[in-house]
Amino acid sequence: MDTLNARSSALVLVDYQERLMPMIHEGEAAVRRGVFLARTAQALDIPVLGTEQNPSRLGPNGPDIRALCGTTLSKTHFDACQDGLVEALRQARPLLEQVVVAGCEAHVCLLQTSMGLLRAGLRVWVVGNACGSRRQADHAAAMARLSQAGATIVNHEMAAFEWLHHCEHPRFREVLALIKAVD
In this predicted model, what pLDDT tens digit does every residue of 93-103 receive, in sequence order?
999 999 999 99
148's CB contacts (< 8 A; 6+ apart) are none
More confident position, 120 or 174: 120
Strands 152-154 and 123-127, how do they pair?
A: parallel
- Count CA within 13 A, CB hemisphere, residue 144: 6
What is the pTM (predicted TM-score) of this model? 0.96
Is the CA virtual torsion 54, 129, 36, 85 positive or negative?
Answer: negative
pLDDT tens digits, one per residue of 118-133:
999 999 999 999 999 9
Contact status, residue 9 vs residue 99, Cβ threshold 8 Å: yes
Predicted local distance difference test score (pLDDT) of residue 176:
87
pLDDT of residue 86 exceeding 90, the answer is yes
Of 140, 119, 123, whose CA–CA distance to 131 is shortest?
Answer: 140
Residue type, 1: M
Q: What's the CATH number of domain 6-182, 3.40.50.850, 3.40.190.10, 3.20.20.80, 3.40.640.10?
A: 3.40.50.850
Predicted local distance difference test score (pLDDT) of residue 76:
97
| Three-state DSSP state, 75 | strand
pLDDT tens digits, one per residue of 105-162:
999 999 999 999 999 999 999 999 999 999 999 999 999 999 999 999 999 999 999 9
What is the C-alpha end-to-end distance of the chain, expressed in Å?
29
CA 18, CA 180: separation in Å to the nearest integer?
Answer: 25
Confidence of residue 1 (pLDDT cuts 50, 70, 90): low
pLDDT of residue 45 exceeding 60, the answer is yes
